[in-house]
Amino acid sequence: MSAALSGEDRAESIRMIRDSAAAVAPPGGDMKRVRDLRFQTPGFDPAVLRQMGEMGWIGLRLPEAAGGAGLGLGEACALAEELGAALVPEPLIPAMLTGSLLAAVGAGPLDRVLSGEALVLTAWQERPDTLDVPGSPDAPRRFLPMAAGAASFLLPVREGGRIALYEQQAGAGLTTEQTQDGGHLGTLEPSLATATRIADDIGEALSLALDEAALLTSAYLLGGMDRAFAMTLDYLKTRQQFGRIIGTFQALQHKAADVRMQIALTRASIEAAAATLDDGATGDARRAVISRAKARAAASSMLVTRECIQLHGGIGYTDQYDVGLYLRKAMVMANLYGSAALHRRRFMAVSPEVEE
Residues in touch with another protein (CB under 8 A) = 233, 236-237, 244-245, 247-248, 250, 252-254, 256-258, 260-261, 264-266, 268-269, 271-272, 292, 295-296, 341, 344-345, 347-348, 351, 354-356
Task: Compare residues 14 and 256 and give the one whose CB is closer to another protein.
Answer: 256
Task: Compare residues 22 and 264 and give the one whose CB is closer to another protein.
Answer: 264
At its nearest, how many Å lie between another protein and the CB of residue 133? 24
Q: Which amino acid is at 96?
A: M
Task: Compare residues 162 and 239 and give the one whose CB is closer to another protein.
Answer: 239
Q: Which of 215, 187, 219, 177 is nearest to 43 (CA)?
A: 177
At its nearest, how many Å lie between another protein and the CB of residue 256? 6
At its nearest, how many Å lie between another protein and the CB of residue 319? 27
At its nearest, how many Å lie between another protein and the CB of residue 306? 18
Integer distance in angstroms from the first to the last C-alpha of the chain? 34
Task: Compare residues 127 and 254 and give the one whose CB is closer to another protein.
Answer: 254
The DSSP 8-state label assigned to residue 65 in this structure reads G
Task: Compare residues 16 and 341 and give the one whose CB is closer to another protein.
Answer: 341
At its nearest, how many Å lie between another protein and the CB of residue 32? 29
CA 314, distance to chain mean position in Å, is 30
CA 103, distance to chain mean position in Å, is 19
At its nearest, how many Å lie between another protein and the CB of residue 265? 5
Task: Compare residues 164 and 340 and give the one whose CB is closer to another protein.
Answer: 340
Give DSSP secondary structure letters for 163-223.
EEEEEEESSTTEEEEE-TTS-EEEEE---TTTSEEEES--HHHHHHHHHHHHHHHHHHHHH
Task: Compare residues 41 and 253 and give the one whose CB is closer to another protein.
Answer: 253
HSE on the CB side for 84, CA within 13 Å?
A: 32
Contacts of 21 (CB under 8 A, 6+ apart): 78, 79, 82, 83
Task: Compare residues 9 and 159 and give the one whose CB is closer to another protein.
Answer: 9
HSE on the CB side for 104, CA within 13 Å?
A: 20
Backbone dihedral angles phi then psi of residue 26, each to the nearest 5 degrees: -60, 155
Q: Which of 287, 338, 294, 349 is nearest to 131 (CA)?
A: 338
Task: Compare residues 235 and 326 and give the one whose CB is closer to another protein.
Answer: 235
At its nearest, how many Å lie between another protein and the CB of residue 211? 17
HSE on the CB side for 308, CA within 13 Å?
A: 30
Give DSSP secondary structure letters for 93-105.
HHHHHHHHHHHHH
At its nearest, how many Å lie between another protein and the CB of residue 335? 16
Q: Which amino acid is at 312?
A: H
Give DSSP secondary structure letters for 298-353.
HHHHHHHHHHHHHHHGGGGGSTTSTHHHHHHHHHHHTTTTS-HHHHHHHHHHH--S
At its nearest, how many Å lie between another protein and the CB of residue 55? 29
